[in-house]
């Protein structure tokens, strides 16, 4: 068994950390629901890193495509 992380898990974590990648985009690319992404993050990260990530993404408009779209429309008008 290797200590090398699964490339798919690494990619999911990378997308989850990215402020501009919404949970809807993650779902479109991986088929994972938001709660499944959260479970992966909880399992794969140190507890303090997970708490920091959750604090960052909780309520963040860019992590939810519907909110992101309404923000973009507001800026365009």
Q: Which tens digit of pLDDT belongs to each residue from 15-68?
A: 999 988 999 999 999 999 999 999 999 999 999 999 999 998 887 777 766 655
- What pTM, to 2 d.p., does this model score? 0.72
- Give the span between the Cα atoms of 64 and 73, in whole angstroms: 15
Residue 71: is its pLDDT beyond 70? no
Q: What is the pLDDT of residue 60?
A: 75
Contacts of 22 (CB under 8 A, 6+ apart): 62, 63, 64, 65, 68
Name the one residue in this structure whose structure tokens are 């479109």: 28
- In the chain the first and final C-alpha atoms are separated, in Å, by 54
Tokens linked to 27: 């779902």
The answer to whether 60 touches 19, Cβ cutoff 8 Å, is: yes
């Amino acid at each position: 068994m290797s200590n090398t992380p699964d490339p798919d898990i690494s990619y999911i974590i990378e997308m989850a950390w990215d402020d501009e990648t919404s949970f809807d985009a993650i779902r479109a690319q991986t088929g994972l629901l938001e709660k499944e992404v959260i479970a992966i993050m909880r399992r794969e990260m140190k507890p303090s890193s997970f708490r920091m990530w959750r604090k960052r993404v909780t309520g963040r408009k860019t992590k939810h495509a519907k909110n992101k779209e309404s923000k973009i429309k507001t800026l365009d008008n």
